[in-house]
Chain A
Amino acid sequence: MARSTFVYVTYIRTTQQQLWSALTEDAEFMKQYWFGIHCESQWTSGSAWRMVSGEGQVLDDGEIVESVPPRLLTIRWQHQKRPELKAEGASLCTIELEPISTSIKLTITHTMERESSQLIEAVSGGWPKIISNLKSLLEAGSVALAEAYPATVGAGS
């Protein structure tokens, strides 16, 4: 199978609409759980999409493939900052929000159509932190990690 895929699942005690808003329109909220990063888009199928760092640098650039608020979002994007990751081309990220009992099941599937993708490897450490922060922020009102790589932990990562 010539593809690299990672799947991330979490259950968040919130509403589909709140979670959708946290993942899309609410850029200030996004910065709180995404270590200062936010995404810009009209969030409709076919519209442009980009991920911007706290310093205003475009990290990833792409488009919304499919947008079905508040339950499905598919984004195709290409990394822009590191040349070796940009060279891999576009990856496909699908975000699903599904109500289960009193929670929303959030599933993020990130795929690159090549084996041993460096991009997929590079983001694999980041997604769990972002998702875990998002869950804490929505459920408890504060993030678990303020920095992606705190100085006293995970040195050299």
Chain B
Amino acid sequence: MTERPDTDVLFKALADPSRRKLMDVLHANDGRTLNELCEHLDMSRQGVTQHLNVLEAANLVAIVWRGREKLHFLNPVPLQEIYERWIAKFERSRVKALHGLKQRLEAGETIDTPKRRKS
């Protein structure tokens, strides 16, 4: 599987505590304006705007215009992709490995070097 360049953008966007805080705020109360989001962060309006731009570029925040109001929504789709690419498959092989170990121990086998699993 080739890595797409937007994966870098996504992980960089997540690698900042203020941006993660913004995502938590949106998770609790989705569809917020910039002013509403500023109330939750001890930071200048420009700072919050910059962080939101990074989140938007990484597709972690989606914008919906309601009249002249710009509303920010948390977009969970890239997080789902991280889950599928970086968590689910490792979790699955570990569960399989534990299951294999249990079966072999219960069958009275001694464990030396693990057999190579087919991937």
Contact = CB atoms under 8 A, between A and B. Distances in A.
A and B are interacting partners: yes
Interface of A: 1, 5-11, 107, 109, 124, 127-129, 131-132, 144-145, 150, 152-153
A5 B73 CA distance: 9
A107 B62 contact: yes
Contacts of B75: 7-9
B102 to A, nearest CB: 14
Contacts of B31: 1, 5, 7
Interface string B28-54: 001100000000000000000000000
Interface residues on B, range: 10 to 19
Task: Specify the main secondary structure of chain B where it touches its partner.
Answer: helix
Interface core residue of B77, B84, B92, B96 (most chain A CB under 10 Å):
B77
A11 B73 CA distance: 16
A10 to B, nearest CB: 5
A132 B77 contact: yes
A109 B81 CA distance: 19
Contact of A152 (B59, B64, B92): B92
Contacts of B81: 132, 144
Contact of B62 (A7, A131, A144, A150): A7
Contact of A153 (B30, B73, B80, B91): B91
Nearest to B59: A9
